[in-house]
Amino acid sequence: MKSVLAVIAGLIAAVVVIYGLEFLSTILFPLPEGADPTNIEWIKENAELIPTGSMIIVALAHLLGIIVGMVIAAKVAGMTMIPSYIVGILLLVGTLLNLIMIPHPFWFAATDLIGVVIGLGIGKVFAQKQLKRA
């Protein structure tokens, strides 16, 4: 049961980080007039209109979200990395699905995917430091 709670806590923490930074990106780099970022069809048809700075922050959000999610999952789990790995894998799959379902510029897709893999590695290192030794 503790492992399930750890996964849930890790996912919630990751989502808060990701959506928080994505929201910040729209403040720092406003979308064009009439843009509707909640409409997937608008995004598919107008991805090239999304400011580059905003896309960089989104890629960074995915990297940081995985790290935070994995660390929180390990902290809650206490003695096992399995919840952290589950959080990391779920976020990787979510990123891949996003990249497949919504057309992105190549540079963003490559940066985002590389960032997520790096996030998994960094997340693992920091998550392991949260474990209690038996």
The residue ranges of every structural domain in the chain are 2-128
* Rg of the chain taking only CA atoms, in angstroms: 16
Q: Which residue has the tokens 């790290």?
A: 67
* Backbone torsions φ then ψ of 112, nearest 5 degrees: -65, -45
Give the pLDDT confidence of 108-132 residue by residue, as tens digits.
Answer: 999 999 999 999 999 999 999 999 8
Q: What pLDDT, on a 0 to 100 scale, did the predictor assign at position 14?
A: 98
Nearest to residue 90, comparing CAs of 58, 65, 109?
Answer: 65
Give the pLDDT confidence of 36-74 residue by residue, as tens digits.
Answer: 878 888 888 888 888 999 999 999 999 999 999 999 999
CB 57 within 8 A of CB 29: yes
Residue 17's Cα: distance from chain center in Å? 8
